[in-house]
């Protein structure tokens, strides 16, 4: 593993707190949460007590007012331990929902919701994906029709992380169905509003402890004051914040790569075969050497993207490059490492098995790999003077 210079002594003290929480209060129960399909709200509140949620929110909204590296530490420690349930749920809450409210919510909305999100008293979700609109968000059909001082919302969302647990959702809607991307608005919707119906929990091949649901909106009446930013500006807001989300995913994925290699080195050094250990075989050494080299290279790139983000200079194209390459590598690493575990790698009590099933969504969520390639390709040819018709 390479040396990293991003973190101060204070960050490392915080890391010790997060790691202790994960080891003592999360890991012993995670298998049960996977069976139940969601993380109990008590763990959210406990995480809030320890300052693990929305770490970088300003103090006036209940946060610690610290830098985003504290958020990075939380992401890394949950995924280092393979605790994908709270790891994924907390990421949505802290890295996706809270930033939208902070950036574009009214002062009343920020004061009302952010302090409770920090404490884990309120759980946030974001509603973008629909049955007919995934990566192409311009095609969403959920609509919000203005009626006096309210919007009346009708529509459906699917694959919504924290969908069952959520108390609030940042909902992507169409306030002008004819205006395509310019007709999209983001509205904060409370889960207890009449007509907001939480459908079935979706059974997934991975991230099994993170609740994922279908959500339905049937004549849901929401005050216009719940809108984030200006009407019709939602698509631009999503595009602006997606770089943050994609970097968060790269942070997670590179940590999984490092953890999986570590688990496999430890296992192959102990596993006896043909008069030696698996680690004695050249094939084992060559496979892990290749994975380690590729992981080290992308660790450097990911950390570079983190420094750019901290400086407010992360380009959406660089975020797409990080998301594309690191999630591809994650899938490769967990697959090849599982092979070295043999039959044990197929048993869910081993973290490599859970890492394998959890990994596949990373090339889809937050924008599919093909969309990342499109973003990068368009930028590449734009810089070269455009493409030929």
Query: Is 245 marked active-site?
Result: yes
**Continuous segment of H or E residues that includes residue 316:** helix 316-341
Q: Are strands 196-201 and 184-190 parallel, antiparallel or unpaired?
A: unpaired
- Residue 313 burial (10 A CB sphere; 0-12, 13-18, 19+): exposed
- Residue 302 burial (10 A CB sphere; 0-12, 13-18, 19+): buried
- Rounded Cα–Cα distance for residues 216 and 200 (Å): 10
CB atoms within 10 A of CB 306: 20
Residue with tokens 């590598």: 329
List Cβ neighbours of 104 (8 Å cut-off, separation of 6 or more): 186, 228, 229, 237
Output the six-digit token pair for 26: 């999360």
- Residues 245, 272, 292, 294: which is the catalytic one? 245
**What distances in angstroms separate CA 37 from CA 33, 82, 200, 362, one per listed residue?**
6, 16, 11, 19
Is residue 300 within 8 Å of residue 1, measured between CB atoms?
no
Helices (H), 24-134: 30-36, 41-49, 69-80, 84-91, 98-104, 107-119
Output the six-digit token pair for 81: 């331990």
Is residue 330 within 8 Å of residue 258, measured between CB atoms?
no
Is residue 246 within 8 Å of residue 320, measured between CB atoms?
yes
Q: What is the DSSP string of 252-309?
A: HHHHHHHHHHHHHHHHHHH-EETTEEGGGSHHHHHHHHHHHHHHHHHHHHHHHHHHHH
- The residues annotated as belonging to the active site are 245
């Amino acid at each position: 593993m390479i040396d990293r210079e991003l973190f101060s002594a204070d960050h490392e003290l915080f890391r010790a707190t997060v790691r202790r929480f994960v080891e003592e209060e999360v890991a012993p129960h995670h298998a049960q949460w996977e069976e139940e399909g969601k993380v109990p709200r008590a763990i959210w509140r406990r995480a809030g007590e320890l300052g693990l949620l929305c770490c970088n929110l300003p103090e006036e909204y209940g946060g610690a007012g610290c830098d985003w590296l504290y958020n990075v530490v939380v992401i890394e420690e949950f995924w280092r331990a393979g605790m994908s349930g709270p790891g994924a749920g907390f990421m949505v809450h802290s890295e996706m929902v809270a930033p939208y409210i902070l950036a574009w919510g009214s002062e009343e909305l920020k004061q009302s919701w952010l302090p409770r999100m920090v404490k884990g008293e309120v759980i946030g979700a974001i509603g973008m994906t629909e049955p007919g609109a995934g990566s192409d968000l311009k095609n969403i059909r959920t609509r919000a029709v203005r009626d006096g001082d309210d919007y009346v919302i009708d529509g459906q969302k699917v694959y919504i992380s924290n969908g069952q647990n959520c108390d609030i959702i940042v909902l992507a809607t169409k306030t002008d169905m004819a205006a395509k991307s310019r007709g999209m608005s983001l509205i904060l919707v409370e889960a207890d509003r009449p007509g907001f119906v939480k459908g079935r929990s979706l059974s997934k091949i991975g991230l099994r402890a993170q609740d994922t649901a279908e959500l339905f909106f049937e004549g849901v009446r929401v005050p216009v004051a719940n809108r984030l930013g200006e009407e019709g500006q939602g698509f631009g807001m999503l595009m602006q914040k997606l770089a943050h989300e994609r970097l968060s995913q790269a942070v997670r994925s590179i940590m999984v790569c490092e953890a999986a290699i570590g688990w496999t080195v430890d296992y192959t050094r102990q596993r006896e075969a043909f008069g030696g250990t698996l680690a004695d075989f050249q094939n084992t050494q060559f496979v892990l050497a290749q994975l380690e080299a590729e992981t080290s290279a992308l660790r450097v790139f990911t950390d570079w993207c983190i420094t750019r983000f901290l400086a407010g200079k992360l380009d959406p194209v660089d975020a797409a490059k990080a998301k594309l390459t690191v999630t591809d590598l994650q899938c490769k690493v967990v697959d090849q490492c599982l092979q070295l575990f043999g039959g044990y790698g197929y048993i869910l009590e081993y973290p490599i098995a859970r890492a394998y099933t959890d990994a596949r969504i990373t090339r889809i969520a937050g924008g599919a790999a093909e969309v990342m390639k499109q973003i990068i390709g368009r930028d590449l040819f734009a810089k070269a003077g455009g493409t030929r018709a």
